[in-house]
Amino acid sequence: MKLNPLLRIQNFDQKIWLDFIRRGMLTSDELRRWIEDEGLSGVTSNPAIFDKAITGSHDYESDIETLVSKGKTPREIYEALTIEDVQRAADILRSGYDKSDGRDGFVSLEVSPHLAHDSDHTIAAARRLWEKVQRPNLLIKVPATREGLPAITRLIAEGINVNVTLLFGLPRYREVAEAYIAGLETRLRERKPLGTVASVASFFLSCIDTLVDSRLDKITKEGGPQAETARTLVGKIAIASAKMADHICKELFDGERFQKLAEHGAFPQRLLWASTSTKNPAYSDVKYVEPLIGSETINTLPLETLEAFRDHGRASLSLEENFWEYSTGLERLPEVGIKLDEVTQQLEDEGVRKFIEPYDHLMSVLEEKCTAVVGIS
């Protein structure tokens, strides 16, 4: 009998998290079944996921009506609904968190995307959410913007778990990892425990290929001396970036600076592969899963990608395979006139906007419901 690939992947010390949350899966046994039968060990969320869950189902109607009748604002309603979902998920995942000594079994909740370029308000919002949720297996999502870096350091220093989101570029990834280490160093100076705080760095993948491929395809169609080089790079840059990020991760967390922290119980910040649904129908639907299986990493999958990998995915230790071939691909991008740092900055800017839009959409829907209830009363 063929072993479920989702279970086999655990043999290589990679964890699978679900990039989706909805009230119905929490009040039924759906999430618990994924955990028990498929080896799922974490849940991530974002404003787009909550917008889809809340506006696309009837799971929240009665709670929304109750909150509106109590005079709550749209933002207060949003926080109440999302916090309850996250608390429920955290409780379902708690046994995995306890069994792993605080290394797994997490659920993520994001600060408002409107705060992506505001360090102080990001810190304040993260503190408030951490205090309200009151679960040790919560990760507060903080964007990997320039302004997010000091927030990461401050929150880690205060013992608040952080999921660094909207991470696209390798130089920024290095800064994110160093911000985490700096937060731990502050805790050590303040004689606070290091083994009680956790962090993951969510490196977004498919959107890198979507943007870079469009530029490579244009160069290929135009012909000329760069065309053949561009053709060979199509569909490879996201995976190459992930493999290079893993290389940087090992360099930093195997290094002397972090080892001093590890001696006091600190855990490395793990890489988490995000944006793993395949956008190009010409590519495999498990393109961002199979080549990135490696120890001490996490892959967070939307439902359709998770089901695809369970059905026909192949699980093998693959993250370090062909590293130099892929790194050469990154080095050749400038030959065709593409600067990866500019691409990833564009993706960061677009990513912030893409989270603001569903957040604002949900706020407008909740505002309409508030207005309707007031009109009836």
Report how far apart the first and last C-alpha atoms of the chain are (Å, whole number).
61
* Residue with tokens 């759906």, as numbered in its chain: 30
Region of 106 (left: φ > 0; alpha: ψ -120 to 50; beta: rest) is beta
* Residue with tokens 């593409």, as numbered in its chain: 338
C-alpha distances in Å from residue 43, one per residue of 101, 140, 154, 206, 359: 18, 12, 24, 19, 19
Per DSSP, what are the bridge partners of residue 211? none
**Are the C-beta atoms of 44 and 17 separated by less than 8 Å?**
yes
The rounded distance, in Å, linking the Cα atoms of 40 and 16 is: 5
Active site residue 218: no
The rounded distance, in Å, linking the Cα atoms of 239 and 203 is: 11
Q: How many of the other CB atoms lie within 10 Å of CB of 99? A: 12
DSSP strands (E only) in 9-128: 14-18, 42-43, 106-110
The rounded distance, in Å, linking the Cα atoms of 293 and 310 is: 14
Select which of 15, 141, 236, 287 is catalytic. 141
Q: How many of the other CB atoms lie within 10 Å of CB of 70? A: 10
**Are the C-beta atoms of 291 and 239 separated by less than 8 Å?**
yes
Nearest Cα to Cα of residue 164 among 86, 237, 249 = 249
The rounded distance, in Å, linking the Cα atoms of 161 and 103 is: 11
**Are the C-beta atoms of 67 and 111 separated by less than 8 Å?**
no
Phi–psi pair at 272, nearest 5 degrees: -125, 125
**Are the C-beta atoms of 252 and 181 separated by less than 8 Å?**
yes
C-alpha distances in Å from residue 217, one per residue of 227, 230, 262, 325, 335: 9, 7, 45, 21, 15
Active site amino acids: 141
